[in-house]
Amino acid sequence: MTSLLHVDSSPSEESVSRRLTALFARVWYDLYGTAGYVRRDVVADPVPLVGPAYVALGTRLESHGVIARADVSAYVADQGEEREWALTRPLVEEVLDADTILLGVPMHNFSVPAALKAWIDRITFPGMYVDPDTGDSLLRGTRVVAVLARGGGYGPGTPRAAYDFQEPYLRTYFGDLGVAEEDLHVVCAEFTRTRDIPALARFADLTDSSYAAAEEDVRRLAAGYRPAGGGATLRAASDPARS
């Protein structure tokens, strides 16, 4: 069964990232059905921040090498650690069970939303994505589609390119977790705030073109399209001199 884990992290129900991930999901389950579809809204249902007991259990596990998920409970020392593992294990299993992980990610203060970072921190439990017998990544072959939305323009060559800690962070994180570069796809809709921030109004002509390009890329990726060259960023071209 083909499976999709759909994670949204925008606090706005009308956000561009939510509209685009909803489109991806509709195209996907029109093709594959809803049986393998899992939705997680980390704003409506926040992931608890990791606490001292999470750190204590994770540190203990790391000192024993790679521990199979089924054996983690044997290392739990108290009720606090038991609670942390009970909060963590289902989220880890959602990630491992997914063929595709779809992320809706608005840019918040040049990076990812706190709600998404809480989910990332919790699922990054020591050893969960490594086969304890072979040392191979358990995420090899898992596809990640990150749908990004930015109020302004942060693409290569733009004056604010160096301010982008959103896409580089996600690429580094999932790459380190074991997702192959060719399986990591980024769709980027930019200049989404030109109609409500006066200082960005002069870029309004780029809003619609960027969104249309992102929408097209989302449809293709949902249908199984894999761009040549692996995990290239899919974004509408913008004129750096005007951004």
Annotated binding site: 10, 15-17
DSSP secondary structure of the chain:
---EEEEE--S-TT-HHHHHHHHHHHHHHHHH-STTEEEEETTTSPPPPP-HHHHHHHHHHHTT----GGGGGGG--SHHHHHHHHHHHHHHHHHHH-SEEEEEEE-BTTB--HHHHHHHHHH--TTTTB-TTT--BTTTT-EEEEEEE-SS--STTSTTGGG--SHHHHHHHHHHHT--GGGEEEEEE--TTTTT-GGGGGGHHHHHHHHHHHHHHHHHHHTT---TTSS-EEE----GGG-
Annotated binding site for FMN: 10, 15-17
Query: What count of Cα atoms within 13 Å lies in the side-chain half-sphere of residue 104?
Result: 26
* Cβ neighbours, 10 Å, residue 45: 9
Separation of alpha carbons 73 and 52, rounded Å: 17
Whether the CB-CB separation of 115 and 42 falls below 8 Å is answered with: yes
Q: What is the maximum span of the chain, computed from C-alpha positions, in angstroms?
A: 60
